[in-house]
Structure 1
Amino acid sequence: MLHLEQHQQPTTITDLAVWRYRTYLADRAWTGQLLNRLLAPALPRGVPCPTPHYVLSVYELGAHLWNASMLPTAMQLLATPSVLVDRRDPGNITGLGPEIERSLFASQWEHPDAVEFGGAVSMGLAGWSGVAYHPLPAERALTTSDIVDLELDIQTLWALSAHIQALLEAGEDPVMPRDYGRSYLAAAYSRLTQSRPTETVQHRLMRKAILATSELPERLRSAQDVLHP
C-alpha cells in the first residue's frame, strides 16, 4: 500500500472531478513503476511484478463558498462526481462544462441511489462512486481517519472477493492461503455487518450506508460459497 498526497485548489467541483479521473490513471501508472523498481529484484525469475488495480482517493476540503441551501447538492456531487465529466475516452477525461454544474445546483440534484447518514452532528452521503462527509460540531463527528480506516477495510475485501470471482469466471478452482480462506471471509463479514458495543451511532450509520452502496456483503457471501471449507 502506498500513500500519495497532493494539494490542489479547484475552483469548481467539475475541476475536482476531472482531476480525480485523470490522476486515477496517472497515479496507478506511477505506482506500478515504483513497485516494479522496488520489488523486481526480490521476485523469482519469470514472476511478474504485481500491477496496481485500485486507487482510493480521499479529498479533505479546507474551505468552501457554498451556503446552507447549496451544501446538500455539493455533497451529492462530491460523492458522485461522474455526472460532471465525459468519460467516453478514458485517456482524455473532460468536464461537461460549468453550465452543467450550475444547472445541477439550481435543480438541487440528488442521486437516486445515494444513501444519507449523519444525523444531528454531521451530513453524510454514500454512493457507488464515493462518500462525502461534512461534520457540523467537529468534536462530536467522525474524523477523516474513521472514514479512511473503514474504506480501506472495505476496498481490501472488495479486491479479495473480486479476485476470487475472477478465478471462478476463468474456469479455475479458487484456492486461497489458509489464513485468507473461507473462515477469514466469514469473520470479515461478521466484523463489517455486526454492530459493536463501543461503536458510536455516527460510525454505525456510516458503516451501514457504505456497505449498502458497495454491495460488499453480497460479494463476500458469494466468495465464501465458492471456497472449500
Structure 2
Amino acid sequence: MEDLTLPNIASLALWRMRSYSENMAWATANLRQLTGHEDVSASYVLSAYWVTDPEWPEENLDDALRTICTPRILLQREAQFLESEREQAEQAERRILTNGHDGSGIEPFGLSGVSIGHASWSGVVYHPFSPDQALAESDLVACELATQSMWAYCEYINRQVESGLDPDLPEPHGWRFLRGAKSRLVNPRPQETGQHRAMRDAIVKTSGLLEHLDQAIDIARQSQSQGTS
C-alpha cells in the first residue's frame, strides 16, 4: 500500500510502469518467506486505486477514473517509461478528458451520488463521494484478495498442465475446494449489500476468473479420477 499525491494521470501511468518490477520483486520475496520455497515467484501485480481527493471537474471525473483504471493507454506502445515521454502521455490524457473514455473492457460498480467504481483487467479504481455510505476500503481489498488468490491458484494448475505435468494438488484443495470457491465468488450472500454485490460481479467478470476456474475444476477432477482408478 502506498499513499501518493500526483499532478495528473500521466504521472500515475509512468510511476505504475516504473514501479512494477519493484513490486514484483517485493511480492516474490514475501511469497518465498511465507512459503519457505525459494522457487516460488509472483506472476503479476494488480493495482487497486482508492482515490480520495480528485481535482477534476465533475463532468470529467468519470472519464478520469476510467483512465486511472487503465493508465497504460496513455503511454506509447514501445514506451520505455522515461521522463521524456511525459509530455506525450499528458497530451493523451487531455484528449481523453476532452473527448471521453470509451469504457472498453471496463465494468462500473459505483452507486449514483455515493461512489464511482470501475474494474478492468489491469486494475480497479474507487472514489467514495460519501465515505459513510460507500464501500469500505477493506471491502475492496478483501474482494480483490479472494479473486486474485484463486486466479493465481488456477494459473498454477494450468501452468503445470501446459508443462506436460499432472497437477500436484494438496488434498484439501482439489476440485471440491475449487467448486466451493467458485460458489462463494459467484453467489450472493443473504446479508450482502447491492454495492458489494456490484463490486464483486465487476471484479470477477473483468478478471476472467470464472473461465479459469471451470478449466481448473475439470483438470483437478480428471487428476483425482486418474489417481483413484
TM bucket (normalised to shorter chain) is 0.7 to 0.9
Q: 2:115 aligns with which of 109, 122, 126?
A: 122
Q: Which amino acid letter does the alignment assign opposite residue 18 of structure 2?
A: R
TM-score when scaled to structure 1? 0.86
Matched, 1:58 2:48: yes
Q: Which amino acid letter does the alignment assign opposite residue 24 of structure 1?
A: Y
Pick which of 197-206 and 172-181 moved more: 172-181
Relative to structure 1, the CA distance from residue 172 to residue 49 in structure 2 (aligned partners, 3 Å threshold; closer, same or farther) is closer
Equivalent residues in 2 for 1:25-104, closer than 5 Å: 25-32=21-28, 48-86=38-76, 88=78, 94-95=85-86, 96-104=88-96
Q: Which amino acid letter does the alignment assign opposite residue 171 of structure 1?
A: G
Displacement of 1:210 in angstroms is: 1.2
Pick which of 82-91 and 64-73 moved more: 82-91
Once residues 180 and 72 of structure 1 are traced to their aligned partners in structure 2, the CA distance between those partners, rounded to angstroms, is 40
**Which residue is equivalent to 1:13?**
9
Matched, 1:197 2:193: no
Matched, 1:111 2:103: yes
SS at match of 2:56: coil
Once residues 35 and 223 of structure 1 are traced to their aligned partners in structure 2, the CA distance between those partners, rounded to angstroms, is 22
Once residues 81 and 63 of structure 2 are traced to their aligned partners in structure 1, the CA distance between those partners, rounded to angstroms, is 28
Equivalent residues in 2 for 1:125-140, closer than 5 Å: 125-140=118-133
SS at match of 1:58: strand
Could you tell me which runs of 5 or more consecutive residues in structure 1 were left unpaired when the two chains were aligned.
Answer: none
Tell me, yes or no, if the aligned pair for 1:118 and 1:124 is still in contact at 8 Å: yes
Tell me, yes or no, if the aligned pair for 1:175 and 1:227 is still in contact at 8 Å: no
Relative to structure 1, the CA distance from residue 164 to residue 92 in structure 2 (aligned partners, 3 Å threshold; closer, same or farther) is farther
Relative to structure 1, the CA distance from residue 170 to residue 90 in structure 2 (aligned partners, 3 Å threshold; closer, same or farther) is farther
Tell me, yes or no, if the aligned pair for 2:109 and 2:116 is still in contact at 8 Å: yes
Once residues 134 and 12 of structure 1 are traced to their aligned partners in structure 2, the CA distance between those partners, rounded to angstroms, is 16
Tell me, yes or no, if the aligned pair for 1:158 and 1:219 is still in contact at 8 Å: yes
Pick which of 87-96 and 163-172 moved more: 87-96
Q: 1:170 aligns with which of 153, 160, 163?
A: 163
Tell me, yes or no, if the aligned pair for 1:115 and 1:213 is still in contact at 8 Å: yes
Q: Please, what is the CA RMSD of the aligned residues?
A: 2.3
Tell me, yes or no, if the aligned pair for 2:51 and 2:125 is still in contact at 8 Å: no
Relative to structure 1, the CA distance from residue 92 to residue 52 in structure 2 (aligned partners, 3 Å threshold; closer, same or farther) is farther
CA-to-aligned-CA distance 1:7-32 (integer Å, 9 cap, x gap)? 33211101011111211101222444
Relative to structure 1, the CA distance from residue 22 to residue 87 in structure 2 (aligned partners, 3 Å threshold; closer, same or farther) is farther
Q: Which amino acid letter does the alignment assign opposite residue 80 of structure 1?
A: T
Percent of aligned pairs with the same residue? 36
